[in-house]
Amino acid sequence: MTLLNVAPLVLRRRGGIAGILPIIGFAASTAILATVLGGLTAFLGRAAVVPEGVDFSDPRANLPFLLTCAAVATALLVPSAMGLGSAAAKLSLSRRERDLASMRLVGGTSAQIGTIAVLDVVLQALIGSLAGIGLHLAVTPALTGLDFGLAPFTIGELMLPVWGYPVLVLAVALLSAFSAALGLLGVVISPLGVARDSRIVRMSVIRLAVWVLLVIGFGAAFQIVPRLAGTADDPLLVTTVVLAVFMAVLVGSVNLVGPFVVWLAARILAAVAPRPALLVGARRLAADPRAGWRSVSGVTFGLVIAGFLTLLTIFGRSTDPAEAALMTALNTGGYLTLGIAAVLAAVSTGVTQTARVLDQAGVYRSQHVSGAPISALQRARMAEIGLPLAIAAIIAGVSAAGLIMPVLGGAAILGPLVQYLLSALVALGLVAVSVLVSAPLVSRVARSEA
Amino acid sequence: MNTTHPSAVPQSAPALPVPPVAGLAPQPQPLPAGPPPVLQARRLRHTYGKSASATPALNGIDLDIQVAESLAVMGPSGCGKTTLLHVLAGIIAPTDGTVHHGGQPLQDLSDAARTRLRRSAFGFVFQDGQLLPELTALENVILPRMLAGSSRRTATADARGWLDRLGLAGLHDRRPGQLSGGQAQRVAIARALAGRPTVVFADEPTGALDQATGHAVLEVLTEASREAGASLVMVTHDPAVAAVCERTIAMRDGRIEQQFRRRSAAEGQVR
């Protein structure tokens, strides 16, 4: 019997939440990718049929600018969605470690085990991505009700071209294979078990330096690109593409510096934490700052964009139909981006936290046996997400402060301000609630028999 | 160390009588003369599952654990030794029978009160340490103290003393992943003793260590517990491990089958 014959026996699905978590991650990642890319193609389709020389009072004249905004939102959300897919792959791999060790015991070589591990992750990615496309199809009709100041989008417009779906499934599968292969580099699977790379996470200050350089570069590009684009055949298209690319790079750079900030803040907090829950939460965050940042990065970007667009809609109030339509579109787009980012963050946080509880079930149990009340275990988990949420809230607060300035100047914008603050509260609250999803699991594993 | 392996006790040596089982002693036995035991168990029965699938784990256990005494609980797999430890520590409530700690009946306490009792009066050492991987050695030791209400400053001062005493000076800021198995288990012992418990419960504390390291850890565990005035209840299947304790009970099918007292060179005989 070859190893491939044995593999299905050893890697049989056990069911339960541990097996479902990676699939949920892949499904959410795929659904968001399909929905965001579908939205971008909808704007592309509309922009392509805008007649030459359309009157500026016609709302369709806004489409090229809206297309730029959609590209920026896509550049913002796609890396986060891909990050969730990558995290799901690593999670899937970690769930299988004991089985893979068993396969080493029955004679598998490292190369064979590595191949089987990656194939197993890819299989879960395929199941998850198919479920994600189903989810995307289920959600799309509701999106036709969104008001972008244009004729409502149809379901057909908001869907990807038919060939796009298999390509997306393939892309998610490839991403999962790559992430799993990368994850395998950090573990040694031996017949006696799995040895994990236990190096302490250290964040280099180089991350900060790179971020500063990229911000300077972005500022320069913002000045230079429109001038250079003026000489191109299609200046708007060139500007759109270049700015979207720069936005993606800027988002990437913030994602580079974000974990560094979280890591530094967590270490400082851990060193002075007066309460046990804060100590544990800060240490866990310092041990995995990337996961902590991933929990709130999308929401933070979403909050900044929503704040900026809210400000724009306040100043841009107009009786001109085209301008009013543009403001409506920007408002809808901003909050839609924030909503998608919040869902993405909540799923990512929920999956990561649940996986951690399963991984550390023995530690949770021993802590409870030693006298730690369940409530203290829960507080430590909330403290872990609390710091990244605080960072996001500070950024949201700064955005809100920007909104308050016109109020002080006498402009009547209480409505948009309240709308923004409520949205921030809901988005951040959703992430916090996603931690509570695994609260019953904590209680169960802590009270379980050894 | 003046220890004699239990198996080295001559066959003719009289073992202590097997304590009476439940049913034969319907009322709790009166306390023996002398200092009261720190833990007293009477007529303990515990069954997992219900009706047809019920599996008895404890089948009428009477046991007194004296102050600062070290007790090994031995027996084959499934004999009920870990269940006994869990019942004595108030982790699970027995199906029948009583456990008193310092005269206080555990069965009358709520789950929250038993959790508080474990935090304030008991210490635990597990087979594989079960340290929080993200915390440093020092933080692992101060955590239970902080949970019990101590300030970080006070808990840190005490914890440093314990870590130094257990041979871990200079390793306070290491994570469990950066420590050897023996060092990690010493941290777990420091964590168990830092709260000044009356009883330390250890479940196969050397099960994950090699023989030499295991022996060193055992010495540290027993001596540190004795010096701290804490009783030690240690579950093991290894006679060599049990040999370091003053008393050993051998369990089979949920009952105490035999009891041994360690014969020291000074005593020259089995007590």
The per-residue pLDDT for range A40-76, each reduced to its tens digit, is: 999 988 888 777 766 766 777 778 888 888 888 888 7
Of A283, A373, A450, the CB nearest to B135: A283
Mean pLDDT of B184-211: 89
Q: Do B91 and A369 touch (CB under 8 A)?
A: yes
Q: Is the pLDDT of residue B203 over 80?
A: yes
What is the predicted pLDDT for the residue at B33?
56
Strands B122-125 and B55-65 come out as: unpaired
Q: pTM for this structure?
A: 0.76
Mean pLDDT across B168-173? 92
- Across the beta sheet with B104-105, the strand order is B55-65, B39-48, B96-101, B104-105
| Residue stretches of chain A with pLDDT short of 50 | 1
| Alpha-carbon gap: B163 to the closest alpha carbon of chain A (Å) | 18
Q: Is residue A425 part of a domain?
A: yes
Tokens of B249: 């009970």
Residue B12 belongs to a domain: no
A407 in any annotated domain:
yes
- Do A182 and A34 share a domain, yes or no? yes
Nearest to B147 among A371, A449, A450 (CB): A371
Last-in-domain residue among A175, A199, A223: A199
Closest partner CB to A279 (pick from B92, B112, B143)? B143
In a domain, B47, yes or no: no
The pLDDT assigned to A279 comes to 94
Query: Across the A/B interface, how many CB contacts are shorter than 8 Å?
Result: 79
- Residues contacting residue B172 through CB under 8 Å, at least 6 positions apart: B136, B137, B138, B160, B163
Distance from CA of B190 to the nearest CA of A (A): 13
Q: What is the pLDDT of residue A194?
A: 58
Q: Which residues of B fall within a CB distance of 8 Å from A273? A: 152
Contact call for residues B64 and B32 (beta carbons, < 8 A): yes
Rg of chain A in Å (alpha carbons):
24
Rounded to the nearest angstrom, the minimum Cα separation between B216 and chain A is: 23
pLDDT score recorded for residue B38? 92
Q: Which of A94, A197, A370 to substitute to test the interface with B, most B CBs within 10 Å?
A: A370
Are A11 and A118 members of one domain? yes
Residue A446 in domain: yes
Residues A84 and A181 in one domain: yes
Percent of chain A with pLDDT over 90: 20
Residues from chain A contacting residue B116 (CB–CB below 8 Å): 371
Which residues of chain A lie closer than 8 angstroms to B146, CB-CB? Answer: 275-276, 279
Residues 7-66 of B with CB under 8 A from A: none
Show the tokens assigned to B251.
Answer: 């369990």
Please say which residue of A182, A199, A216 terminates a domain: A199
Domain membership flag for residue A238:
no
Same domain membership, residue A314 and residue A190? no
Q: Looking at residue B105, what is its pLDDT?
A: 92
**For position B226, which CATH number holds?**
3.40.50.300
Interchain contact, A276 vs B146, CB within 8 Å: yes
The answer to whether residue B73 sits within a structural domain is: yes
Judged against a pLDDT cut of 70, whether residue B1 lies above it is answered with no
Of the residues B131, B147, B198, the best mutation for testing chain A's interface (the one with the most A CB atoms within 10 Å of its CB) is B147
Tell me how many degrees the CA angle B114-B120-B121 measures, rounded to the nearest 5: 80
- Residues of chain A with C-beta less than 8 angstroms from the C-beta of B120: 371
Instruction: Report if residue B5 sits inside a domain.
Output: no
For residue B176, give Cα distances in angstroms to B85, B126, B181: 26, 14, 9
**A283·B134 Cβ contact <8 A:** yes
Question: How many structural domains is chain B composed of?
Answer: 1
Task: Supply the pLDDT for residue A348.
Answer: 85
Of the candidates A45, A63, A139, the residue with the CA atom closest to the CA atom of residue A340: A139
- Look at residue A225 and tell me if it is in a domain: no
In a domain, residue B130? The reply is: yes
CB contact under 8 A, A370 and B177: no
Cβ distance of B135 and A449 shorter than 8 Å: no
Q: For residue B70, is pLDDT > 60? A: yes
| pLDDT-derived band at B28, boundaries 50, 70, 90 | very low
For residue A373, give how far its alpha carbon lies from the nearest alpha carbon of chain B (Å): 7
Tens-place pLDDT, residues A315-337: 666 677 777 888 888 888 888 88
The pLDDT score that the predictor gives to residue B249 is 93
Q: Which residues of A touch B134 (CB under 8 A)?
A: 280, 283-284, 286-287
Write down the pLDDT at residue A130.
96
Residues from chain A that touch B122, judged by Cβ atoms under 8 A, are 370-371
Q: Packing angle between helix A289-315 and helix A63-95, nearest 10 degrees?
A: 160
Structural domain that includes position B202: 68-79+110-248+255-261
As beta bridge partners, residue A190 has: A193
CA dihedral for A144, A150, A156, A157, sign (positive or negative)? negative
Residue owning tokens 């219900």 = B50
B194 touches chain A (CB under 8 A): no
* pLDDT confidence of residue A171: 94
Measured in angstroms, the CA of B221 and the nearest CA of chain A are apart by 17
Set of chain A residues whose Cβ sits within 8 Å of the Cβ of B89 = 369
Same domain for A296 and A433, yes or no, is yes
Same domain, A324 and A181: no
Question: What average pLDDT score do residues B166-184 get?
Answer: 90
Q: Look up the domain containing A445 and give its range.
A: 259-450
Does residue B221 carry a pLDDT above 80?
yes
Q: Do residues A283 and A142 share a domain? A: no
Question: What share of chain B has pLDDT > 90, as a percent?
Answer: 44
- Together in a domain, A140 and A287: no
Q: How many structural domains comprise chain A?
A: 2
Residue B105 lies in a domain: no
pLDDT at res. A216:
81
- For residue A384, give the chain B residue with the closest CA: B134
Is A241 a member of any domain? no
B interface test, pick of A187, A197, A369, A449 with most B CB neighbours within 10 Å? A369
CA distance A138 to B66: 67
**Chain B closest-CA separation from residue A102 CA (Å):** 19
Distance between CA atoms of residues B178 and A311, nearest Å: 51
Residues A178 and A303 reside in one and the same domain: no
Q: Give the whole-angstrom CA distance, residue A308 versus residue A416.
A: 11
- Residue of chain A whose alpha carbon sits nearest to that of B175: A200
**CA nearest B117 in A: which residue?**
A371
- The whole-angstrom separation of Cα B265 and Cα B32 is 27
Q: Which long-range contacts (CB under 8 A, 24 or more apart) does B164-168 make?
A: B165/B190, B165/B224, B166/B190, B166/B220, B166/B224, B167/B220, B168/B137
pLDDT band at B66 (very low <50, low <70, confident <90, very high): very high
The residue among A155, A175, A199 that closes a domain is A199
CB nearest to A371's CB, from B82, B119, B139: B119
